[in-house]
Amino acid sequence: MNIFKLSFRMLRRDWRAGELRVLAFALVIAVGGMTTVGFFADRVQLALSRQGNQLLGADLIIFSDHTLPSQYAEQAKRQRLAISTALKFPSMAAKGDNSLLTEIKAVTAGYPLRGELRISEDFGDTSPRTTRIANAIPAPGSAWVDEKLMIQLALSRGDTIEVGTAHFIVTALITQEPDYSIGFINLRPRVLINTVDLPATGLVQQGSRIGYRLLVSGDSGEVENFRKWAQSRLTLGERIEGIRDARPEIKAALERAEKFLSLAALASVVLAAAAAALAVRRFTQRHLDGCAVMRCLGASQATMLRLYMYHFATLGLIASGAGCLLGFVAQGALAFWLSGLVEAELPWPSVWPAVHGLLTGLVLLLGFALPPLLNLRSVPALRVLRRDIGMSNTHSLTGYALGLAALSVLFLWKAGDVRLGASVMGGFAAAIAVFGLLGFLLVKALSHMRGQTGGALRYGLASIRRRATASVVQAVALGLGLMALLALTLIRDDLLQNWRTSLPPDAPDHFLVNIQADQLEPLAAFFNQHKIAQPPVFPMVRGRLTAVNDKPIASGDYNDIRAKRLVEREFNLSWAQEMPSDNQIIKGHWWKSGDSGKAVMSMEEGIAKTVGVGLGDKLTYDVAGSTFSATITSLRKVDWDTFRVNFFVVTPPGVLEKYPATYITSFHLPPKQMDVTNQLIKAFPNLLVIDVATIINQVHKVIEQVSKAVEFVFLFTLLAGLAVLYAAIASTQDERIHEAAIFRTLGAKRWQLARAWAAEFAILGGLAGLFAAAGASALGYVIGEYALNLTYTFNPSIWLTGVLSGMIGVTAAGLMGTRSALSTPPLITLRNI
Amino acid sequence: MSDNLVVRPIVQATALTKQVSTGDEQLTILENINLEVNAGDSVAVVGASGSGKSTLLGLLAGLDTPSSGKVHLDGEDIFLLDEDARAALRGRILGFVFQSFQLLPALTAIENVMLPLELAGISNATTAALELLERVGLGTRLKHYPRQLSGGEQQRVAIARAFVTQPQLLLADEPTGNLDSTTGAQIIELMFELNRERGTTLVLVTHDEAISSRCAWRIRLAGGKVVN
């Protein structure tokens, strides 16, 4: 027999009869919400990383200390990626008798591929200068210089400078260079020239210290493919970097952004699951009689199972497809609405969110439809004679375990982060268990209260007790839904707020490096004079790692390119009594006040991992010709996106003081006082001033955009929440219609019934709200603390919000949903029984 | 009607007993029932409410399992079969008419009648269903849903559904129980007519003496035992 045909026909009939609307609605909203989140998150993430890439000047850069093999550029061209090259090397630049060590950068047309190169023709002292975006690179024979060089060589527009054996006419002042901030080291004054002029300088020779760069940009998928292709072909001295490799601050901000968005998506997955479970439960309840009749008419269990499996799979495909379509349309509307808010133009999303949505819809439906379906096939045929015989619940537990397992896989997959996925999933699983148990206990306890109450409340309590299982299922589902919404609200408001405060508007945006001990006082006077708050100053000793546990090491001992570089380079070592507030101990302990002078150190965990050392390891550094050893007693996690001065290695006071130290500080400079940097450079020519305002702005923008995106995504989660509410109310609808008919036949007035039901819904909503508040507080804490690394402060108002919103929401929705039950004439209902 | 149909028992119950436990007590619903219904016969099972009539019907159809005893349907010991095999057997030889009609609310009249044929994988379900609905006088109500039909009409649809598979044995459980007397009489008339036309064996559960008197013979149950 063609069961599929029959099942399709039954699907059509069920649809026509309105049997599937609740389930289909829940699925469409759920998949729709999820794909919207998926599509939008995809687009925002693409836009965010592209915005991040503006700081890099490209989507990807290959760095090399030798001429780059042509294979990279050729491959990039084959993949239709835009390319541009840049050469960087230190050289003296001279005007007349004055000369200065500068960083020369020679670029080819197209530079920069991402972000803006801004220049000014205004060489005067005026502030702010009029600037414009450079739409080309310096013409052959001309050079663009930065402010430092202009000040120190007293350059004016049209002056000639000498670089190597070539002469250049200075035609513009660089005011913003996209890749300026990559790497804090060696920030010498900059000169930008055209690559065609390089040979004339005579500086590119065998043995010259030249950094070669290939800048690549284009379609994100192709860039990723190129990255993979190139990664495996890198040789010694070559490395590849995207924005995430280059800037830890932007990397941290982007990662948090991604987590926020996936959390919002995950919340709608939970809601979808709850809605699907409720809707399928109702469907099976309504099909018990039909199944018994079919069993009676000769259908085998296998036939029944296949019949409904096809039925649901087809429904799942159609509803998920419709959901994907809805998601696509909604994200289009969202992108349009946000077009003024998100500065970057949103790139087109990939098809993956649609595939994910489709799969998610099917997995959810089957995960949560299968257990009741398994029961449906074993409905005893005897039910045709004795309606009191229901279905066994033998498959419920195992079945829902399957659903939960399917959901867990989805979580881990959607979260893309095992820790986050596991904590959210574990939270929900524990919540279901605890809510279920509490629900049963509370329903039992409440039913004992029935004797002490009167009127509507008494009837409401009686109804809850009578429908004990259904009531607990409803309360758990509603509780889960509310919990997801509350948790998301918490995360959105509290955690986003914490993120914002971690980078306040007056966060330090300028670093001062290379301060000498004897300059500390004059510098403090300078800050006083310019009414800038005295920033904390940190000592810094430079040392090269030479041995681990007394065993000498060399870069050749490491395979990892980053580790090799770390070993070749000098570390910045510092000392402090107190741990900086934005640091967190992961392992070990910070020192006590009596530990001054002890040879111990605290290391940043990432660096420790790269170098392959841990607690108890003894590290030896070469500091200005003498050796210094200390044992690691703690590993720290550093919040790089706070823009405060941080060190990979810190010791207690009294250890490093005998070595030559320079000092470093960071401070906030209001935009109005930007000319202070010029005066600073004039007053302290040896200081390096590093301006990170651009990066801070970028991080601020990321935070703002993510906040808005999360708010929008939240709307969809809210819609999914409504689907749960609808499904929960509908799950007892039939019983209510029946009940209303009997009560009204017995003379009950409509308002009496409505009041009794309102009492029942209010109790249910209150229970759900209570569950939700408890669950959301726990979840907020776990997610904040362990997954997002943000401190979560408990919010007592959530209990009131949870219980009240549960009571009001469920009562309102319940009464709206049961309107038809109240208005159906009793005779019609009773005739249909 | 051929001779061999008359002599062969289509349904045979031997020492059929059904007990259920209610808490600590064992309640005997049916006790040691023996009966034999030959093909073409019409039998009424009568008795007061709670006498075990419906339980007996459920056991004869293999919808329920006995505590002890046997039921042979068309020569087959049905309790040696598993539930699926019993379902297949039901689909092959049984037709049902219930007190509460048991139509599927999501299906129209004709779809309800087509259902047993579709489950059995028979291809010309529409033609057969159409023919029977016309026979029961509902040729103009094919696309109506159960809720749009009166009780009498719903029971006619149920009768059409019972006969559409051309069953050898029709089991009817209080077919007029939910109907007024006039409609009930029409339904009984229709059922007996079809029964005669198609040579179906009929086992009818009723507490209505008038209806039972139309059957060839009666089994009276009281307290779970056959009393006549």
Q: Are residues A242 and A375 in the same domain?
A: no
Weakest-pLDDT range from A180-189, A354-363, A579-588: A180-189
Residues from chain A that touch B89, judged by Cβ atoms under 8 A, are 298
Chain A's closest residue to B88, CA to CA, is A298
Nearest 5°: the CA angle A400, A406, A407 is 90
Q: What residues of chain B have any CB closer than 8 angstroms to a CB in chain A?
A: 54, 57-58, 61, 63-64, 83-84, 87-92, 94, 96, 98, 100, 102, 104-108, 111, 115-116, 118-121, 145, 147, 151, 173
State the Cα–Cα distance between residues A110 and A80, nearest whole angstrom. Answer: 15
Position A521 in a domain:
no
Contact flag B91-A9 (C-beta cutoff 8 Å): no
Give the residue from A623, A650, A667 where a domain finishes: A667
Residue A453: predicted pLDDT: 63
pLDDT for A280 beyond 70? yes
> For every residue of A510-527, which 3-state class applies, written as one string?
EEEEEECHHHHHHHHHHH
Identity of the residue numbered A213: R
Residue B84: predicted pLDDT: 86
**Six-digit token pair at A172?**
């513009």
Give the helix/strand (H/E) hosting A193.
strand A190-194
Structural domain total, chain B? 1
Give the helix/strand (H/E) hosting A628.
strand A626-638
Cis ω on the peptide bond leading into residue A128 (within 30° of 0)?
yes
Position A373 in a domain:
yes
Nearest CA distance, B84 vs chain A (angstrom)? 5
Q: Are residues A94 and A146 in the same domain?
A: yes
Q: Are residues A93 and A166 in the same domain?
A: yes
Contact flag A302-B64 (C-beta cutoff 8 Å): no
Q: Are residues A258 and A171 in the same domain?
A: no
The three-state secondary structure class of B73 is strand
pLDDT tens, position by position, A689-728: 777 776 677 667 666 766 666 666 677 677 777 777 777 7
Mark residue B196 as left, alpha or beta (left: phi above 0; alpha: psi -120 to 50; beta: remaining): alpha
CB neighbour list of residue A206: distance below 8 Å, 6 or more residues apart: none
Contact flag A297-B147 (C-beta cutoff 8 Å): no
Chain A's closest residue to B94, CA to CA, is A297
Q: Are residues A562 and A662 in the same domain?
A: yes
State the Cα–Cα distance between residues A145 and A150, nearest whole angstrom. Answer: 7
Assign A340 a pLDDT band (cuts: 50, 70, 90).
very low
Chain B's closest residue to A381, CA to CA, is B63
CB A251 within 8 A of CB A243: yes
**Six-digit token pair at A163?**
């670089």
pLDDT for A182 beyond 90? no
CB A497 within 8 A of CB A632: no
DSSP single-letter state for residue A203: -
A380 and chain B in contact, CB less than 8 A: yes
Nearest CA distance, B151 vs chain A (angstrom)? 8
Residue A341: predicted pLDDT: 44
Contact flag B145-A386 (C-beta cutoff 8 Å): no
**DSSP letters along B113-172, please?**
HHHHHHHTT-TTHHHHHHHHHHHTT-TT-TT--GGGS-HHHHHHHHHHHHHTT--SEEEE
pLDDT tens, position by position, A808-825: 988 888 888 777 777 776
Chain A's closest residue to B117, CA to CA, is A297
Which of A293, A306, A377, A388 is the best mutation test for B, with the most CBs of B within 10 A?
A: A293
Residue A619: predicted pLDDT: 93
**Residue bearing the bigger pLDDT, A501 or A100:** A100
Residue B44: predicted pLDDT: 93
**Six-digit token pair at A596?**
């001054």
Position A538 in a domain:
yes
CA B120 to each of CA A471, A500, A693, B11: distance values in angstroms, whole numbers, following the listed order: 39, 67, 77, 22
Identity of the residue numbered B77: D
Q: Are residues A321 and A448 in the same domain?
A: yes
CB neighbour list of residue A494: distance below 8 Å, 6 or more residues apart: A780, A784, A792, A793, A795
Weakest-pLDDT range from A421-425, A452-456, B22-26, B37-41: A452-456
Residues from chain A that touch B63, judged by Cβ atoms under 8 A, are 296, 380-382, 384-385
Q: Is A372 exposed, middle or buried (0-12, 13-18, 19+ CB in 10 A)?
A: buried
Position A522 in a domain:
no
Position A694 in a domain:
no
CB A463 within 8 A of CB A756: yes
Nearest CA distance, A21 vs chain B (angstrom)? 13
Q: Are residues A424 and A565 in the same domain?
A: no
Position A524 in a domain:
no
Average pLDDT over residues A465-481: 79
Q: Domain limits at A216?
A: 57-246
Q: Are residues A282 and A423 in the same domain?
A: yes
A300 and chain B in contact, CB less than 8 A: yes
pLDDT for B205 beyond 80? yes
Q: Are residues A377 and A497 in the same domain?
A: yes
Chain A's closest residue to B89, CA to CA, is A298
Q: N- to C-terminal Cα distance for chain B?
A: 29
Structural domain total, chain A? 3
Q: Are residues A205 and A99 in the same domain?
A: yes
Weakest-pLDDT range from A195-204, A469-478, B168-177: A469-478
Q: Are residues A652 and A777 in the same domain?
A: no
State the Cα–Cα distance between residues A143 and A129, nearest whole angstrom. Answer: 19
- Rounded to the nearest 10°, the torsion over CA B161, B167, B170, B171 is -80
Position A678 in a domain:
no
CB B133 within 8 A of CB B148: no
CB A491 within 8 A of CB A783: yes
Position A803 in a domain:
yes
The CATH number of residue B50's host domain is 3.40.50.300
Residue B20: predicted pLDDT: 86
Q: Are residues A552 and A471 in the same domain?
A: no
Which of A1, A13, A286, A297 is the best mutation test for B, with the most CBs of B within 10 A?
A: A297
pTM given for the model? 0.65
pLDDT for A80 beyond 60? yes
Weakest-pLDDT range from A14-18, A520-524, B18-22: A14-18
Nearest to B87 among A2, A300, A831 (CB): A300
